[in-house]
Structure 1
Amino acid sequence: MSSDTDISLSSYDEDQGSKLIRKAREAPFVPIGMAGFAAIVAYGLCRLKSRGNTEMSVHLIRKRVAAQGLVVGAMTLGLGYSLYQGFWAKPKL
């Protein structure tokens, strides 16, 4: 039995902050989607008391749909960006 000690474990050595920064550079629209989701949730919680005559379930469903739409939109933009980077913006050799 031989053990391979040459395996690089650099991904395990990075802390959470540097991992988040690296992932944000790889896919820039993911943090935008996360921030938008958090903003919609915070807005929904602030508007919870002044929702008027609408019922609680309707209010929560509207905020959930808005948050999901923002996340799906950010994912779609991120996919389009990665496709652009991968196929059309390749540097010419």
Structure 2
Amino acid sequence: MSADSPSWSSETQSQTSKLIEKSKESPFVPIGMTGFAAIVGLGLYKLRTRKDTKMSVHLIHTRVAAQACVVGAMTFGVLYSMYKEYVVKPKETNLSK
């Protein structure tokens, strides 16, 4: 199967459209993914200039920072969805009555 076949491109497009659709539903997922990638990239860049720090300590700090970014994005995402569900929706139902 070549890369130019229609099934491959339609499969990729459907996955891309699913990702875009999910991003619109919960915008903090791509923010968490981007933050994770940025922190890992920064950690790899700083790996060269770590001076006297042990490799294991540097990797642990990088891992903790990346996890904190993802957990923070998940927390804000849950808070945002709760805000939409419990604060915005009741106001809309009261306005429609």
What TM-score bracket applies, with the shorter chain setting the length?
0.7 to 0.9
Q: TM-score, normalised by structure 2?
A: 0.80
Deviations 1:55-84 (A, max 9, x none): 000000000000000100000000000000
> Which ranges of structure 1 fall in alignment gaps of 5 or more residues?
1-11
Deviations 1:34-75 (A, max 9, x none): 000000000011111100100000000000000000100000
Aligned to 2:56: 57
State the distance in 2 between where 1:36 and 1:49 align: 21
> Which ranges of structure 2 fall in alignment gaps of 5 or more residues?
1-10
Structure 1 SS opposite 2:47: coil
Structure 2 SS opposite 1:53: coil
Does 2:82 align with 1:83? yes
Aligned to 1:37: 36
Structure 2 SS opposite 1:34: helix
State the distance in 1 between where 2:85 and 2:47 align: 43
Q: Which amino acid aligns with 2:43?
A: G
State the distance in 2 between where 1:38 and 1:16 align: 20
Does 2:71 align with 1:72? yes
Identity %: 58
Structure 1 SS opposite 2:53: coil
Q: TM-score, normalised by structure 1?
A: 0.83
State the distance in 2 between where 1:47 and 1:16 align: 34
**Which structure features the higher share of helix residues?**
2
RMSD: 1.3
Would you identify which runs of 4 or more consecutive aligned residues in structure 1 move more than 6 Å?
Answer: none
